[in-house]
Structure 1
Amino acid sequence: MAEPTPETRTRSWLITATAILFLLIALGLIGAGGWLGAMGGSWYYLLAGLGFLVTAWLLHRRRAAALHVYAAIVAGTLVWALIEVGFDWWQLAPRGDVIVLLGLWLWMPWITRRLGTRSLAPGGLPLAASLVLAVVVAGIAMATPSHGISGRLSMERVAELTPDEGGMPAGGGVPAGDWHAYGRTAAGQRYSPLGDITPRNVDRLKVAWTYHTGDMRRPTDPVETTYQVTPLKIDDTLYLCTPHNYVIALDAGTGRERWRFDPEVPDNINRQHLTCRGVSYHAREGADPATPCARRIFMPTADARLIALDAATGRVCTDFGDNGQIDLWRGMPNVEPGFYYSTSPPVVTRNLLIVGGAVNDNVSVTEPSGVVRAYDVETGALVWNFDTGNPEATEPLAKGASYTANSPNVWSVASVDEALGLVYLPIGNQPPDQWGGRRSEAAERFSSSVTALDLASGRVRWVFQTVHHDLWDRDVPAQPTLVDLDMPNGPVPALVQPTKQGDIFVLDRRTGEPILPVTEEPAAQGAAEGDYAAPTQPASALSFRPPPLAEADMWGATMFDQLACRIRYRSLDYRGAYTPPSERGTLVYPGNFGVFNWGGVAVDPERQVVVATPSYLAFVIRLIRRTDDDRTYVSDGEPGLNENFGAPFAVDIGPMLSPVLGLPCQAPPWGYVAAADLRTGDIAWMHLNGTVRDRAPVPLPFEMGVPDLGGPLVTAGGVAFMSGTIDYYVRGFDLETGRRLWEDRLPAGGQATPMSYRGPDGRQYLLVVAGGHGSLGTKAGDAIIAYALPPAADDGGG
C-alpha cells in the first residue's frame, strides 16, 4: 500500500480538526441551548447543537452525509431566523454568520473530496443550494428597509416671529444672530432663526477656525469627565466653560482667545461628575456696556461656588455675593466636599439668578439637599429658596438653619417665562433611586416631575409628574422647552418635556394640563421588600418609547453571544418598562441613560415641530441586600456610588452587554434622528443615526444607529444639526425629510449640543464642541470648531 502523501495527511488533519471544531460547538450549543429551553426560551440552539454533533460524527467517519446534515442545519436556521425577525439584516446576520461561514468551509474542495464527493457533485448540491439560498435572503434583507419611518414634515410656517425675538415665546428678545442662554433663549428651544444655511448649500460647510482650550483630562479626574458645553454668543464674543471650570471668551469671527479665567477648583476624588454644560449671561438694564460688570457671565463650579465675571474682561465682579462669588454649600446639610455641585448653567431673568445642583448618585440616604435657590442677579442676595423636602418655606433660609437632606434635586437646566412669571424645573429623584420605601410625602410629590414656580416668591404653581414613585432613575433630565402652539381653538402657551422613558409631554405651561393626551397605563407590580410599585404610569400621545423587548430581540455579533444574551434575558425579571428592581436582577428598558437625557430636543417655533435624537439601551439593575453600613458591595473606594449607605439595598447597575464582545444585548438600532408635529403628536420621520466605526472591534462604518448623548439644533433654514453620537461626526439633516445632507469628522467625541450664530463677517456659523464623554468611552479632546459657508458661496437660491 502506498504511503500517504503530505497533501493527503494535511487533508486528513483538516477533516479531523473540522470534526473536533464541530464537536466543541455541538457541546456548547447542546449545553447552553438546553439551559435556555429549560428556562422557557427557544429550543433552536439545542436542535442546532444536535445537528452539529451528528455532523461532527459523520465528518469523523469521512461520510458525505455530513454535508447533507449540515445543509439541513443551514436551511433550518434560515427558516427559524425568518420566522423570528423577518428580513431584518442586523438581526439575521448573527443568527447565520457562523452557520454560513462553516457551511462554506465544508463546501471547499479540500473537505468534499476527502468525503468522497465534489462541491458541485450530487453529494454537495444540497449544501450548495442551502448556502445560495442563505446568501439570496441576506441580499434581500440588506436591501429591505426594516427600521424607522419615512415621511415628510410640513414646512409651512405656522407662526411668524419677529427677527429680534428669534423664537423666544415671552420675555426680552435675543438678536437673531446671538445665542444668549444654554438653549439660545430662556425658552430652551435650541433654535436659530438664521436661514443662510439651507438644504441646498449645507454640503458646502467648511471649517472656518478651530480653537483648543488646553483643558484635557487628568489622572485624578473621575470616570465621568465630560465636555458638554454649549457656548454663548453675545455681540462679537463667544463665552464657554471647560470641564475643569475655566471660563474662556473668544472672538466669534476668528476663534482667537480674548480672556480666560481659572477659578482654581481643587481636585477631589469624591466627585462623580466633572463637566460644565454652560455659563449664563446677564446685562444690566439701561447701563452703559462699557461700565465694569454691567454685563456679567455667571459660572457654577465643581466645588459648589457661583462666580460672577465681567463679560468684557473676565475679572471677578467683586460687588456680587461675597467678593464675587456665592458659596452654594451655605445652608446645606451633610457637608462633604465633592458630593454637591452644579453642572448646568443657572437661569437668568431680569432680576434673578436661579440655580440648582447635582448630588452623587446613591451614595447614602444622607445626601445634601436638592434645594433650588434664587439670588438677586446684581447683589447675589438670596431672594427665595425652593426645597422639595419643605416646599412651603420659600422665604430665605434663616441663619444657622439647614435645608432638607436628601431631597429631590434639579441637576439639569431650567426654563423661564417672565411674561407668565414662572420658572420651570426638571426635577430628579430622591436617592436611593432604585428603592423608595422611605420617601417622604413631599419627595413623592416632586420626584421625576416638571414643576412650575412663581418667579417672585418661589412658591409652587403646578406639578406634573412624569413617573410615579420612580424606581428606575428616570429623572426629568432635560430642559423644558417653551413654545406657543397654534392649536385649533387658538394659540396655547406650551411646554415640551422630553423624558428618559421616551415620552414627550406637551403641556399648557400656565397650568400643567396636557395639550396632547396623557393616559395612565397599568404597570408591573412586585417591588423589593419594604417598597411598593405605582399601579399605573403616565404615557404621552407623543412618544418615542420603544416596544417591549422579547427574547428574539437579543443580539450579538455571533450566534454564541446572542445565545448568552438570550440566557441572560431569561434569567432576569422583565415585565415591561416599569418592572421594579429586584434582588434577582431586573432588565430595565429603556435604561437610565434614557431615550432622552440632558441634551433634550430642539423645537422650531415657526413650523411648530420637534427634532429629537432618541436612543435605546437596555440596562440591568440588581439590588444587593446590605447587612451593615461599613461594607462596600458595588464600589471600589470613594465616593461609594450606588452603595446606598443607610438603606436596605445597594444597587449594581449597568448596560446589558454581551459577554463575548461587549456589544449591547438588544438588537440595533440603538439610536435615531426623528421629528414630529407638536400640534398633533404625529411622528413624521425617524431614521438611523450614526455608525459603529469608533466602537466596533474593526472600524467599519456600518450605519446601525448608535446612542446619542447631546442635543440637536434646528435652524430657520430648514437644517437640523447634531454631534452627540458615539461615532465622531457632526451631521446636518433636512428638516423636511430627515435625509442626511452633510457630515464632517470630529477629532474627538462630540457629546455636546451645537449652536449657531452670525459672525462679525456676516456669515452664519455652526459651532461644535468635541471633547468626549468619560462614561461613554468616546475619545477625549478640547476642540471648539466653527463651520461656515465659503465667503462667496452661492446658496443655490435657498
Structure 2
Amino acid sequence: MNRIIFSLFILTSCTIKNEFSINDWAYYRGDNSVSHYKPFDLINKDNVHKLTKVWEYKSSDHDLENRSQIQCNPLIIDGVLFGTSAKMKLFALNASNGSLLWEFDPYDGMFSSHGTGVNRGLNYFRHSSGDRILYATYSKLYAVNPSNGKLIQSFGENGIVDLKEGLGRNVDSLLLAANTPGVIFKNLLILGHRASESTGAVPGHIRAFNVFSGKIEWIFHTIPYPGEYGYDTWPEDAYLRSGGANAWAGLSLDEKNEIVYVPTGSAAFDYYGGDRKGKNLFANSIIALNANNGKRIWHYQTIHHDIWDRDLPAAPNLVTITKDNKNIDALAQITKSGYLFVFDRKTGEPIYPIKEKKVPKSSLIGEFSWPTQPVPTIYPSFSRINLSDDDYPIRSKEAREYAKRVWESSKYEEFLPLSLSETILFPGLDGGGEWGGAAYNPNSGIIFINSNEMPWSLKMNKKEGLTLGKTVYNSGCMICHGEDLKGNLGVYSNIPSLVNIKDRMTNKSLEEIILNGKGIMPSFSNLSNDEINAIINYLIDPETENSTYEKMNSWPYPYVFGGFKKHYAPDGYPAIKPPWGQLTAIDLNKASILWQIPLGQHDDLKKLGLIETGTENYGGPLVTSGGILIIAATMDEKIRAFDQNTGELLWEDKLPAAGYATPSTYIIDDKQYIVIACGGGKLNTKSGSSYVAYSIN
C-alpha cells in the first residue's frame, strides 16, 4: 500500500511547478532562459552611484597560496541566500545582513584539492512536501534540506547520488565533475558534467534524475549508440570507448515548449582526432531535447570534428527576435571563437544564413580534419577573429618585437589544425566567450557579452622517442606546468614550478599529491603504479628517467599534446594590442553592435597613460529594468555598473578579491541588493572567501 501511494505521489508531483517570488533570484543565471535579467529598478541609472557595501560574509576557507576560487552565482529565496565556498561547502545566509544560518560540508572537513572543478551554482526545487537544494561537488550530487542544511536521506543513497554510475561503462577511475547546475523540469533534474580532455575521458551523456529519488529517468547519448541518430559520424566502436562531447557549461530550458537546450564541448582527446574520424555528433553542438523524455528535436553543430577544444562555453540565451515584423522565439549561443549563433529555437533554423567556410587540412598523420566550418554571415563577432600586423602591441618596442618574433615563427590562420610547429589560436582557449555567459534584456532585445582577446600557442609532439614518465607528464601535467616544468601558465597563471622538485619534496610526498591532489591540482588516482613511479622519476631527474624506462607503447595516438602558452610579453602583459577584454552590446533585432568597450584596467599601465586596455575576465554580467549592467569578472578586482544603452561607466568599487562569478540581485522589504562572490585565484590574483552585498541606504 505504501509503495502504491508513493508512486501516485511521484506522478502527481509532475504537475507542480517551481514557483518563486519575483523578488527572488531563484535560478542559476537568473532564470531557466539564462537571461541574467531581473525587472528591478530600485537601483537604476540615476542612483547607482550611491551603491555602498551593506554586508560581507567571509567563509574563510580559501587557499592561502592563491589557488582556490569561488565561481558561484548564489540563489536568494524567501530572504535567504544560498551559496558555496571555496571548499565546496553549501551555506545559507540571512540575505539582509549576511549572517550565517547553517553550513553543510560534503567532505566533513576532509577537502583536499581545488582541482578538477568548482561549483558555479545550485538548483532549488520547491514542492508541497518540502523544498530541496540539489547541488554537485565533483562527481557527487547532493539533496539538502534548505531549512537546516541536512541531507535528505530518501534521495539516492542517504542523500547522495554517484554521478559516475549510469553512463553505460565503468568510469570509476576517470574524471567526472558537475561544475555547473542543470535545470529542473517538472520532477526531473537534467544535468551535464565535465570530463577529461585527454584519452580515457567519460562520455558526456545528458541525464535526467528524479528529484525525489535520484533515479535516472532518461539519458541522451551525446556519443550515439548503434541505431541512434549520429552514430555514423563516428567509428563503429566509438560509443564504447570515446569520451567527451559533454555539456559542462550548463543548460537552458523553454518550459512552455518543454524543450531543454544542451551546449556540448569537444570529443576527447581534444587536439587529435585520428581515432574518431567523422563529424562527431553531438560534440560541439546545440541540442534541443524533449525535456520529458530526452528525445532529440533538432541540433546544430558549431564545430565539425573539433581539434581545437572549441567547446560551447555557456548555456544559450533564450531570446525573442523581431524580423520582418514578426516575433521569433529564438536562441543565441556565444562561442569561444567570438561568433554569435542565433536560431529559431523551435525548429533549429538559423535566423540568418550560416556559411560553411573552407578551412586548412591537417598535416598530422592519421588526422582527418573536416574541410569546412560554420561561420555566421550577418550577426557580428563580439571579439577580434583574425590577427594582423595591426595587432602588434604598441606600448613598447620590446613588447612589439617579442610579438613579431613569436608570430612570425608560428603558424596562424583561422581554423588551422595543430601541427608539430607552434600554432596560434585566436581568440585563445578561454575565448572569446566563456562560462560566465551573456546577459539579455527582453525589453530592449540587447544581448551583453564579456569576452577575452588573448592569443595562445599550441603544438603537438611525436609520440616516438618519448618515455613512460615523459608521456604521462605530457598528457596530464604539461597543460598547467608547461613543457619546461616552470609552471605559471595556463588557465590559472599561478602554477608552481616543478624544476628541482627533488630539493623540496620526497618521492613519497609526490606520490601522495599525485594520488590525492593539492591546491588546484586534481587527483590522478587513475594512474597505474608503473605510471606513478615513472612520472615521479621523470620529475626527480628527467635524464635518468630517459635512460631507465622503456619507450611508451600504451599511448593510443601517434602524437601527444605539446602544451599551450598564452602570449605574454617580457613585461608580463599580453603580447597583442589592447583591448584584452571587452564588453559588447549587440542588438539582436538589428544584428548590429550597439556599443563595445574595454572591460577592466591595469593599474601599472594606467600610470603610463594606457587606460583603456581591458583585462582577461571570467564571470558574467547582470542586467535589470533599471537600465544598468553590473559586472565584476576582471583581474583588477573591481565591480562596475554601466549604462545599458551607451556603455558609460556609472559606478565602480574595489572588491576584497576578484569577482570571477556572476552577480545576483534580489529585493527584501522594498530594498534591492546586488551580491557577488569574491573568490579570486585566477590570473595570478589573490584568492578570497567573501560574498559582498551592495545596496542604497
Does 2:612 align with 1:716?
Answer: no
In 2, Cα distance between equivalents of 1:250 and 1:340:
29
CA contact (8 A) 2:40 2:626 kept: yes
The alignment's TM-score, normalised by the length of structure 2, stands at 0.80
Structure that is richer in strand per residue: 2
**Alpha-carbon deviation of 1:408?**
1.2
Instruction: Name the Cα RMSD after superposition.
Output: 2.6
In 2, Cα distance between equivalents of 1:649 and 1:174:
53
1:219-257 CA-partner distances (Å, limit 9, x unpaired)? 6x9x5x421110001111111112321001111111111
In 2, Cα distance between equivalents of 1:370 and 1:548:
31
Does 2:205 align with 1:371?
Answer: yes
In 1, Cα distance between equivalents of 2:156 and 2:430:
36
- Look up the match of 1:250: 93
In 2, Cα distance between equivalents of 1:707 and 1:347:
29
Residues 1:574 and 1:609: Cα distance change in structure 2 (over 3 Å): same
- Look up the match of 2:33: 187
- Look up the match of 1:196: 42
In 1, Cα distance between equivalents of 2:372 and 2:653:
45
Does 2:388 align with 1:580?
Answer: no
Please tell me the residue identity of whatever aligns with 2:208. A
Instruction: Report the 3-state secondary structure (helix = DSSP H, G, I; strand = E; otherwise coil) of the residue aligned with 2:401.
Output: helix
Instruction: Report the 3-state secondary structure (helix = DSSP H, G, I; strand = E; otherwise coil) of the residue aligned with 1:446.
Output: coil
Q: Which has the larger radius of gyration?
A: 1
Residues 1:331 and 1:698: Cα distance change in structure 2 (over 3 Å): farther
Q: Aligned ranges for residues 316-715 of structure 1 at < 5 Å?
A: 316-332=151-167, 333=169, 335-337=171-173, 339-362=175-198, 364=199, 366-390=200-224, 405-439=242-276, 441=278, 444-540=280-376, 541-542=378-379, 543-555=381-393, 557-575=395-413, 577-627=414-464, 630-633=468-471, 635=473, 645-693=555-603, 702-715=611-624
- Look up the match of 1:67: none
Compare relative contact order (CA 8 Å, sep 6+) and give the higher one, 1 or 2: 2
**Alpha-carbon deviation of 1:667?**
1.2
Residues 1:565 and 1:485: Cα distance change in structure 2 (over 3 Å): closer
CA contact (8 A) 2:643 2:649 kept: yes
Residues 1:700 and 1:248: Cα distance change in structure 2 (over 3 Å): farther
CA contact (8 A) 2:43 2:672 kept: yes
**Alpha-carbon deviation of 1:558?**
2.7
In 2, Cα distance between equivalents of 1:629 and 1:267:
34
Residues 515-524 or 584-593, more deviating: 515-524
**Alpha-carbon deviation of 1:786?**
0.6
CA contact (8 A) 2:383 2:582 kept: no
Gaps of 5+ in 1: 1-170, 395-401, 791-798
- Look up the match of 1:278: 121
Please tell me the residue identity of whatever aligns with 1:369. P
In 2, Cα distance between equivalents of 1:527 and 1:755:
47
**Alpha-carbon deviation of 1:528?**
2.1
CA contact (8 A) 1:505 1:516 kept: no
CA contact (8 A) 2:474 2:560 kept: no
**Alpha-carbon deviation of 1:345?**
1.1
Instruction: Report the 3-state secondary structure (helix = DSSP H, G, I; strand = E; otherwise coil) of the residue aligned with 1:181.
Output: coil
In 1, Cα distance between equivalents of 2:226 and 2:687:
44
1:186-240 CA-partner distances (Å, limit 9, x unpaired)? 1111001111111111100000111111221266x9x5x4211100011111111
CA contact (8 A) 2:70 2:84 kept: no
**Alpha-carbon deviation of 1:539?**
1.8
- Look up the match of 2:236: none
CA contact (8 A) 2:459 2:564 kept: no
Does 2:685 align with 1:778?
Answer: yes
Instruction: Report the 3-state secondary structure (helix = DSSP H, G, I; strand = E; otherwise coil) of the residue aligned with 1:781.
Output: strand
Residues 1:636 and 1:438: Cα distance change in structure 2 (over 3 Å): closer
CA contact (8 A) 2:329 2:346 kept: yes
- Look up the match of 2:70: 227
The percent identity for this pair of structures is 31
**Alpha-carbon deviation of 1:515?**
1.3
Please tell me the residue identity of whatever aligns with 1:311. P
Please tell me the residue identity of whatever aligns with 1:315. K
**Alpha-carbon deviation of 1:489?**
4.4
1:367-423 CA-partner distances (Å, limit 9, x unpaired)? 2221221111112111011221235789xxxxxxx9754141111110111221211
Residues 1:659 and 1:740: Cα distance change in structure 2 (over 3 Å): closer
Q: Aligned ranges for residues 95-244 of structure 1 at < 5 Å?
A: 174-217=20-63, 225-244=68-87
- Look up the match of 2:644: 735
CA contact (8 A) 1:602 1:713 kept: yes
Does 2:146 align with 1:311?
Answer: yes
- Look up the match of 1:119: none
Residues 1:479 and 1:174: Cα distance change in structure 2 (over 3 Å): farther
In 2, Cα distance between equivalents of 1:479 and 1:720:
19
Residues 1:658 and 1:316: Cα distance change in structure 2 (over 3 Å): closer
Please tell me the residue identity of whatever aligns with 2:356. E
Residues 1:485 and 1:196: Cα distance change in structure 2 (over 3 Å): same
Please tell me the residue identity of whatever aligns with 1:734. D
In 1, Cα distance between equivalents of 2:623 and 2:693:
16
In 2, Cα distance between equivalents of 1:591 and 1:260:
38
